[in-house]
Amino acid sequence: MKVSRVFAVTKRALRDIKNDRRTRVLIFVAPLLVMILFGVAFTGNVKDVRVIVVNNDTAAASSSLSDKIISNFDTSTLNVAYSNSESDAIGQVQNGSAYAVIAFPSTFTQSVEARASGQTSIPQENVTVSILADKSNVNVANPIIAAVNNAVVQTTQGQGHQPPVSVDASNAIYGANAQFIDTFVPGIVSVAVWQITMLLTLIAFVGERTSGTLSRLLASPLKESELVAGYAVAFGAIGAAQSAVLLAVAVLLFHITIVGNVFLSFGVIALLAIVAEGLGILLSSFARREAQAVQFLPFVVLPAFLLSGVFWPIEAIPEWLQPVSYLLPTTYAVEAVRSVNLRGWGLDKIYPDVVALLIFAGVFLVLATILLRRRE
Amino acid sequence: MKDDVCIRDLEKDFGGFKAVNKLSLRVKHGEIYGLLGPNGAGKTTVIKILCGLLRPSSGEAYVLDTKVPDPRTASRIGYMPQELAMYRGLTVHENLAFYGEVFGLSKQQIDTREQALLKLIDLQDSRDTLVDQLSGGMQHRTSLACALLHEPQLLFLDEPTVGVDPDLRASFWQYFEELRDSGITILITTHYMDEARHCDRIGFMREGRLIAEGSPQELLELTHTDSLEDAFLSYSRTGGSA
Ligand SMILES: Nc1ncnc2c1ncn2[C@@H]1O[C@H](COP(=O)(O)OP(=O)(O)OP(=O)(O)O)[C@@H](O)[C@H]1O
Ligand SMILES: [Mg+2]
């Protein structure tokens, strides 16, 4: 392999992109828009959910436990309204103007105190805060339940009642103050680079085949491996540049947490781009025209988007589907970049993911070279 | 005189269809050999085999004394495919520079050769124009320049003058003759019969076979015609029984 010829190919591929404004927009602006849209629309914290409190507790205001719990509600999550009638409150949830009814039984304070002083005969329902939530959207229902639980724990601790188990999640091992966007950015960077590199490779190679430039190159001293390597360097560099731009904007706009070495994460993304290039060359040989090549995209991009841990962890994917996740190169890139950015891990800890990507890259690049070397 | 191209009983099968059928021919060192024949006769297929892009189904072909396919001949041959084979998103100069680098030319060599070739194809003013923005004929002219850039000993030109205006075609043929006189061998295909008379020898292909061969003069005598145009028509119709 001759380095000067490899770089000739690299330079050529980069020039194509440099000369074409639309491709530049595709590479740098499109993923930014996607990231910003998700980042703004989807901060991950549910805010201002309207709930109706029906407080039937008959205890005097000064000693009412229910009032104390209500005063401990996280008012940024819950937008609290009151009603005296449970059926009226349920009606509001049914017509969609509220998400949940939070009801306290009439003997609530009295029963809790009686229980605390050892009277075990008090029925459970008398000490239960009931939440009747609209669970059609679990992303809303779960935060409501969590907010009420928190308030209960906070109040009972303040009262000196020890709840059976105490939970404290305020200290974090990794990702203190991490928001949804912090977890999401490594995912969107990986998927964007994966998708765009795949698209660039498919278009470039279908073009090389149909325009005759590939014939000309294969009849020249350029080796097939040099062609594959030249494109790999070009697309690897573009992938790294894309991730740098995305990360910079995410830091400026969303103040995302980055505790690790960003250059390590750029390297991981460059490697992912090379994997995409190898697979793209293989797929391009099954297409006669660009329009056919583009039809492969959903099959390659959608699984990466849904199954490589961008939005939810692999553990949340049904077990029978998880093997598919582990066959996706993006899974390893997302995991590695997330570990670098949020956990501050170095190569010594992310190497299993890097090795997985190297294996993918090696296999695809070798197959791509063999495929180009094949003569009808 | 030694032969730069030597083809023996060459066959190429495309899934049962014989695009080249028991073809044998030789191109002598320092001659212009014109491969003529109707569309689909197999001319491009022969050239692709000689360039190592297709594998012969049977028979053999030697290029510069090396049996094809063999990557060692690549640097000494120049190939102009029938398709445009240019990067449309790159300028004329960027295309030439790229192919030059692939052939291992230095920056200086590329510059010198580029100047001479742009003069030949009369595109000095379009050096920095995107290929996409050139007219069809101009695009073909740049494609020829790319094939000539590295000063190959042996040229395979597949319809190099398609879409080129008569004035420039004449200067191309003058250049081809100059190249030949300097010892370069050229295998060329064309559908312009007025050009074919510039060839030293012509091979006439039909349905994958070579059905006639000789100098332009000899072919005229064989077919009892006055022009190569008529000779072509005679061969196309009768399959060489004339
Ligand atoms: N890859 C292929 N697969 C199947 N058939 C092919 C392939 N390439 C060429 N052919 C067929 O082989 C025959 C010869 O094609 P070829 O391109 O060599 O013709 P040609 O003489 O160059 O014609 P033209 O003057 O139109 O350029 C044609 O019938 C063509 O359809
Ligand atoms: Mg042809």
CB nearest to A222's CB, from B77, B84, B102:
B102
| Most confident option among A36-45, A270-279, B214-223 | A270-279
Task: Indicate yes or no: CB of A12 within 8 angstroms of CB of B90.
Answer: yes
> Residue B85 Cα, ligand 2 centroid: separation in angstroms?
14
Residue B182 included in any domain = yes
Q: With a cut of 80, say whether residue B148 has pLDDT above it.
A: yes
The residue assigned the tokens 């005598």 is: B221
Among residues of chain B, what percentage have pLDDT more than 90? 71
- Compute the average pLDDT of residues A64-88: 90
Distance CA A74, CA A148 (A): 8
**Is B139 touching A (CB cutoff 8 A)?**
no
Cα first-last separation, chain B: 31
Measured between CA atoms, the residue of chain A closest to residue B156 is A219
- DSSP classification of residue B190: -
- Compute the average pLDDT of residues A299-319: 88
Q: How confident is the model at residue A177 (pLDDT cuts 50, 70, 90)?
A: low
CA distance B61 to chain A (A): 15
Ranking A23-27, A157-161, B168-172 by mean pLDDT, the lowest is A157-161
**Average predicted confidence (pLDDT) for chain B:** 91
Q: Does ipTM surpass 0.90 in this model?
A: yes
Ligand nearest to the CA of A209: 1
A159 against B31, higher pLDDT? B31
- Compute the average pLDDT of residues B34-51: 95
What pLDDT is recorded for position B232?
A: 81
Judge contact between B223 and B235, C-beta under 8 A: yes
Distance CA B159, CA B137 (A): 12
- Model confidence pTM above 0.80: yes
Q: What is the CA radius of gyration of chain B?
A: 18
Q: With a cut of 70, say whether residue B162 has pLDDT above it.
A: yes
Domain count, chain B: 1
Q: How confident is the model at residue B242 (pLDDT cuts 50, 70, 90)?
A: very low
Residue B43: which residues within 8 A CB-CB, separation 6 or more?
A: B35, B36, B37, B158, B189, B205
Distance CA A360, CA A197 (A): 15
- Compute the average pLDDT of residues A226-250: 96
CB nearest to B85's CB, from A11, A213, A221:
A213
- Strands A130-133, B17-28: pairing kind: unpaired
A352 against A160, higher pLDDT? A352
What pLDDT is recorded for position A170?
A: 59
CA distance B54 to chain A (A): 5
Ligand nearest to the CA of B16: 1
Strands (E), A183-280: none
- Compute the average pLDDT of residues A357-372: 97
Residue B158 included in any domain = yes
Task: Indicate yes or no: CB of B104 within 8 angstroms of CB of A221.
Answer: yes
Q: With a cut of 70, say whether residue A261 has pLDDT above it.
A: yes
Residue B120 included in any domain = no
- For residue B121, the SS3 value is coil
Task: Indicate yes or no: CB of B53 within 8 angstroms of CB of A5.
Answer: no
* Residue count (chain B): 242
> Residue B51 Cα, ligand 2 centroid: separation in angstroms?
14
Q: The domain spanning residue B7 has which CATH number?
A: 3.40.50.300
Residue B204 included in any domain = yes
- DSSP classification of residue B17: E
**The residue type at A214:** L
Nearest CA to ligand 1 atom 25: B39
> CA–CA distance from B167 to each of B122, B146, B170, B172 (Å)?
11, 21, 5, 9
What pLDDT is recorded for position B167?
A: 87
Host domain of residue B211: 3-86+153-238
Which residue of B7, B14, B46 sits with most ligand 1 atoms within 8 Å of its CB, as the best mutation to test the pocket? B14
Q: With a cut of 80, say whether residue A178 has pLDDT above it.
A: no
Residue A91: which residues within 8 A CB-CB, separation 6 or more?
A: none
- Compute the average pLDDT of residues B163-177: 89
* Chain A residue numbers touching B94 (CB-CB < 8 A): 12, 15
Residue B148 included in any domain = no
Residue B28 included in any domain = yes
Span A115-138, pLDDT tens digits: 878 787 888 888 888 888 888 877
Q: With a cut of 60, say whether residue B241 has pLDDT above it.
A: no
Q: With a cut of 90, say whether residue A3 has pLDDT above it.
A: yes
Span B73-93, pLDDT tens digits: 999 999 999 999 999 999 999
Q: With a cut of 70, say whether residue A17 has pLDDT above it.
A: yes
Among residues of chain A, what percentage have pLDDT more than 70? 94
Residue B119 included in any domain = no
Residue B38 included in any domain = yes
Distance CA B143, CA A83 (A): 82
- B167 Rama class: left (phi>0) / alpha (psi -120 to 50) / beta: alpha
What pLDDT is recorded for position A204?
A: 94
Q: Which domains does chain A have, with CATH numbers?
A: 1-41 (no CATH), 49-174 (3.40.1710.10), 179-375 (no CATH)
**Average predicted confidence (pLDDT) for chain A:** 89
Distance CA A353, CA A351 (A): 5
CA distance B72 to chain A (A): 8
- Compute the average pLDDT of residues A154-178: 65
Q: With a cut of 80, say whether residue A166 has pLDDT above it.
A: no
